[in-house]
Amino acid sequence: MRGKLGFFAGKRYRVGETWTLSESNNDVGAAGGIAYGDGLFVLTAERLFTSTDGVTWITRSRPASQSDVTFTAVTYGNGLWIAGGFKAAESSTSVIATSADGITWTARTHGSVAEISDLAYGGGLYVAVDTIVGSATPMQTSPDGITWTSRSLPSSVTYGSVAYGGGLFVAAAPAATSNHIVTSADGITWTGRNVVGGAQMFLGSVGYGDGLWVVAGSQAGSSARIWTSSDAITWTARGNGDGFGTSAQGIAHGDGKFVVVGQGNGGSYITTSDDGTSWTSRTNPNSSELRGVAYGQGRFVASMFDQQGTSIPALVSA
CA distance 208 to 258: 9
CA distance 219 to 73: 25
CATH code of 26-317, in short, is 2.130.10.10
The answer to whether 145 and 82 are in contact (CB under 8 A) is yes
CA distance 308 to 109: 36
State which amino acid sits at residue 288.
Answer: S
pLDDT attached to residue 12: 41
- Quote the percentage of the chain above a pLDDT of 70: 86
Write the pLDDT tens digit of every residue in 169-182.
999 999 899 999 99
State which amino acid sits at residue 68.
Answer: D
Average pLDDT over every residue of 152-177: 94
> pTM for this one?
0.92
For residue 13, pLDDT beyond 60: no
The answer to whether 283 and 262 are in contact (CB under 8 A) is no
Please choose, from the candidates 209, 129, 132, 229, the residue with its C-alpha nearest in 3D space to the C-alpha of residue 172.
129
pLDDT attached to residue 7: 39
Write the pLDDT tens digit of every residue in 181-197.
999 999 999 999 999 88
pLDDT attached to residue 132: 62
The DSSP bridge partners found for residue 169 are 164, 184
What ranges do the domains of the chain cover?
26-317
Write the pLDDT tens digit of every residue in 95-115.
899 999 999 999 997 765 567
Please choose, from the candidates 226, 224, 287, 297, the residue with its C-alpha nearest in 3D space to the C-alpha of residue 259.
226
The sheet that has 69-77: what strands, in order across it?
69-77, 80-87, 90-99, 106-108
DSSP for 160-203, please give it. -EEEEETTEEEEE-SSBSS--EEEESSSSS-EEE-SSTT--EEE
For residue 6, pLDDT beyond 50: no
